[in-house]
Homo-oligomer: A and B are copies of this chain.
């Protein structure tokens, strides 16, 4: 890339309601990130909604006077040709698949969340084959492009891409930036005076340090969490009071998703309660989605509407734009991303994906070194990483025994005969997305 280069940005799953946020971020950086083409790719079934999104996008661009052409297409290969950045934010099977995952999980009394329990497993098995297909197309059509993955389960998808493709890939999640925002609020200081040192896995991450202008203030943040003043939990996780003794024994700030591990049964009970109230997360998301779409249709709307921040994914796109910027301009900024471990977290394989604060350069992502975790926490990380790695292998191979071993290790899914049944039902209901598992279906 030379400075003159006009950039082509492709969004897989471009019909997502997150796209306006992404566009907002691109416009804000247009002076240093010279995007000239924005390609929104989606599938036939999503075109109606995607059209609404694309139109809003065009209005937003027109308003600023920036010179960015917007293309909406179902032809992924055409879009990928000579791309510079590819943002992956599709959802395999759309919101219906997520609803189905949650329903099956609850039927067998296990956690169905879309990234970590039985739902995460199911989502990974649907999504990873598609993600690898995209990466293969990129190897042919835009081998030097960067792939920015927001598609969930982001940690497993990134690991699959890192291991089985030559495309430069970074996984993104909004959890770390939301933690920084939350900590700033809790400490009553400006957002840009807070930096965190983040380490762990996607949705299983800790702030090892909370630094206010370089001074460590984790202790205060932990105390506020204990006191119930939690500004870090994203909208898509049920709110809980943290356990005081647990937090005191940790000496670092856990992300909200860690309560799935620290308070597993309580979460399951909440999911049951929500389910009987028709208020489970996936239902809620579907409802917000519908409302958003109505708003987006308004032909006078030419900015990102506020309601978007009600989604758990707020600030995802902000992070994605900053990442493109840092790569393109070799800014060597520190961001929190999913990338190849390479020894950053001791006790995990070099080739697995971890979520760590990293130096972003135009040639590579370099994690900051992570001080060794105390063993009690390391064991949890190692276990979930093994679940993730086995799930990735199962998703690619269709090996049902690997799938069972993955779920057996998962600490928020209890083992037993019900897992066989849940697996059968999951495969049967997702067969279009998991053809490799077809052989494992009981007759």
Contacts and interface: CB of A to CB of B under 8 A. Distances in A.
A382 to B, nearest CB: 5
Interface stretch (A76-84, A86-94, A176-184, A338-346): A338-346
Given A195-B332, A334-B359, A415-B263, A368 B367 contact: yes
A371 B343 contact: yes
A30 interface: no
A414 interface: yes
Nearest to A215: B363
Interface string A240-278: 000101101100000000000111111111000000000
Contacts of A368: 359, 366-369
A185 interface: no
Given A209-B364, A367-B369, A379-B386, 4 more contacts: A249-B402, A261-B408, A262-B415, A342-B369
A423 to B, nearest CB: 10
Given A214-B363, A379-B383, A371 B346 contact: no
A22 B366 CA distance: 31
A132 interface: no
A361 B211 contact: yes
Contacts of A243: 404, 420
Contact of A401 (B214, B245, B418): B245
A343 B356 CA distance: 15
A376 B409 contact: yes
Contacts of A379: 379, 382-383, 386, 409
26 contacts: A211-B363, A213-B330, A214-B361, A214-B363, A216-B363, A243-B420, A245-B400, A246-B405, A249-B402, A249-B405, A264-B414, A265-B416, A266-B416, A268-B414, A269-B416, A332-B334, A342-B371, A346-B346, A349-B375, A359-B368, A367-B368, A367-B369, A375-B389, A379-B382, A380-B383, A414-B414
Given A379-B409, A404-B245, A362 B214 contact: yes
Contacts of A223: none
A209 B249 CA distance: 40
Contacts of A414: 264-265, 268, 412, 414
Contacts of A363: 209, 211, 214-216
A57 interface: no
A141 interface: no
A302 B370 CA distance: 46
A390 interface: yes
A379 B415 CA distance: 15
B372 A330 contact: no
A359 B414 CA distance: 37
A416 B263 contact: yes
Contacts of A349: 375
Nearest to A211: B363
A197 interface: yes
Contacts of A343: 343, 346, 369-372
Given A366-B197, A379-B409, A249 B359 contact: no
Contacts of A246: 401, 404-405, 408
Interface in A191-229: 195, 197, 209, 211, 213-216
A350 B372 contact: yes
Contacts of A209: 363-364
Given A368-B368, A390-B376, A415 B261 contact: yes
A364 B386 CA distance: 30
B265 A418 contact: yes
Contact of A409 (B249, B267, B366, B380): B380
A4 interface: no
